[in-house]
Amino acid sequence: MFKKILIANRGEIALRVIRTCREMGIKTVAVYSTADKESLHVRFADEAVCIGKPSSVDSYLNIPHIMAAAEITNSDAIHPGYGFLAENAKFAQICNDHGVKFIGPTAEMINMMGDKVTAKETMIKAGVPVVPGVEGLLESLEHAIQSAKVVGYPVILKATAGGGGKGMRVVWKESEMEKNYTTAKMEAAASFKNDGIYMEKFVEEPHHIEIQVAGDQFGTVCHMSERDCSIQRRHQKLVEESPSPFMTPELREAMGAAAIKAASSINYEGVGTIEFLVDKHRNFYFMEMNTRIQVEHCVTEEVISFDLIKEQIKIAMGEKISGKNYFPIMHAIECRINAEDPYNDFRPSPGTIKTLNTPGGHGVRVDSHVYSGYTIPPYYDSMIAKLIAVARTREEAIDTMYRALSEYIIEGPGIKTTIPFHLQLMQDENFRKGEFTTKFMESFKMK
Ligand code: MV4
């Protein structure tokens, strides 16, 4: 039904979407900033339109420029990828109002899940377990102090318009409430133009486990099992895997059912992710829903052998999904290769790649937009590749990953990457045992 899809993104995800479109016989339109003129997504798309200057606000976030590109190319649909406009309800609405199908949920669904307090209230109504706390927004400092007495310290303050960890504050005792409440509110106002904050019990040393879901336009929802994303640093994921080493068949059954309940409660259309915190007793709590394809979708694709981008496009075209759930038949691990220096606080280190050797062989997948001679622009995020290892067992997947990382050469003046970090992680005793929580990176030291 779609003849042509415009991809409102760049980098590896733009390439990823182009690849599936090719396989489906759908024409593609790349949009690009002047900084990305030489990018592979521009080269591999059937058509390409320059949409502005390097800065994201002038290009990949510029709705009028993107809509103009969709119009002049006669595109049927827009794939937003992740980041940029992927969870912008206004953009989704504008696309659909202009007769260009937004490949993703409706503006209403994005809004509902984008406001975390609304999302939590919706989940409570649907019977999905949420982190204990106070319902609704905090009305005042006095309200925060009284609420914390009920919830019990430690508590965490979060921005309702936030997500992904921005503007969060942990409060350990009452004497620390005032300064944390004030800074959380100020940060929320500055970052999201919305100073609404809410309170939860702070779950100590949780696992971050998310469930992939898909829903069609006819109300059918299924889940595709979990990804463990506990290896994060400053709320940036570094490694994701599926299945989670912390998972049990019973927990997967329960979390899968809760995720389906969550997505069904809003008649969710598209692929999405339900993020849960899981405590040491394997109690799980809804945290937020991501209404987009995620960076780490590849690990799910590999363990269930399924093209999630194809599924997104089919759902957007109005096809029905089967409704059966998917369970891992393989083990996959993804390492994010960023142009960052792991010996120097993961500081971004862009530059021009002079030497590139990409790993391959059995059980190796590389999703990347870089090539020898490519200049990593300083304007966007620093992820330059995703390296995914797939095997029948976790142990073998780690061995394959280590081998692949050892073959990976990315060199150029000033360029540092996260490869040395991943090599050390794959040899870490606790990681190999599958013993890690979201606190893991706080104590990880590079050798
Ligand atoms: C929490 C939490 C503990 N208790 N909420 C961080 C990202 C954002 N989505 C929510 N986050 C957390 N919320 C409660 N009630 C701990 C974190 C958290 C975290 C979560 C997932 C992965 C890494 C993390 C690192 C620090 C804190």
Ligand 1 pocket test: which of 130, 151, 226, 232 has the largest number of ligand atoms within 8 Å of its C-beta? 232
With a 6 Å cutoff on the Cβ, whether 202 touches ligand 1 is: yes
> The domain containing residue 49 runs over which residues?
4-103
> Is any ligand 1 atom within 6 A of the Cβ of residue 235?
yes
- The Å distance, Cα 165 to ligand 1 centre, comes to 6
Alpha-carbon distance 132 to 118, whole Å?
15
In the chain, DSSP finds a helix count (H) and a strand count (E) of 15, 20
- Same domain? For 311 and 425 the reply is yes
What is the whole-number distance in angstroms between the Cα of residue 206 and the centre of ligand 1? Answer: 8
Please answer whether residues 338 and 295 qualify as being in contact, where contact means their C-beta atoms are separated by less than 8 angstroms: no
Whether 236 and 321 map to the same domain: the answer is yes
Q: What is the CATH number of the domain that holds 426?
A: 3.30.470.20
Same domain flag for 169 and 193: yes
Number of domains into which the chain is organized: 3
Determine the distance separating the centroid of ligand 1 and the alpha carbon of 231, expressed in angstroms. Answer: 12
Query: Which residue blocks in 26-115 are alpha helix, DSSP H?
Result: 40-44, 63-72, 89-97, 107-114
Contact at 8 Å (CB) between 241 and 331?
yes
pTM exceeds 0.85 for this model = yes
Q: Find out whether the beta carbon of 203 lies less than 6 Å from any atom of ligand 1.
A: yes
Q: Residue 64 burial by CB count (10 A; 0-12/13-18/19+): exposed, middle or buried?
A: exposed
Separation CA 321–CA 282 (nearest Å)? 30
Of 173, 201, 229, the last residue of a domain is 201
Structure tokens at 411: 């060199």
Beta carbon of 237 within 6 Å of any ligand 1 atom: no
Domain contains 116: no
Residue having the nearest C-alpha atom to atom 24 of ligand 1:
438
Tell me: do 147 and 179 sit in the same domain: yes
In a domain, 118, yes or no: no
Per-residue pLDDT of the chain (447 residues; tens, 9 = 90+): 999 999 999 999 999 999 999 999 999 999 999 999 999 999 999 999 999 999 999 999 999 999 999 999 999 999 999 999 999 999 999 999 999 999 999 999 999 999 999 999 999 999 999 999 999 999 999 999 999 999 999 999 999 999 877 789 999 999 999 999 999 999 999 999 999 999 999 999 999 999 999 999 999 999 999 999 999 999 999 999 999 999 999 999 999 999 999 999 999 999 999 999 999 999 999 999 999 999 999 999 999 999 999 999 999 999 999 999 999 999 999 999 999 999 999 999 999 999 999 999 999 999 999 999 999 999 999 999 999 999 999 999 999 999 999 999 999 999 999 999 999 999 999 999 999 999 999 999 999
The answer to whether position 127 is within a domain reads: no
281 three-state secondary structure: coil
Q: Give catalytic residue positions.
A: 292
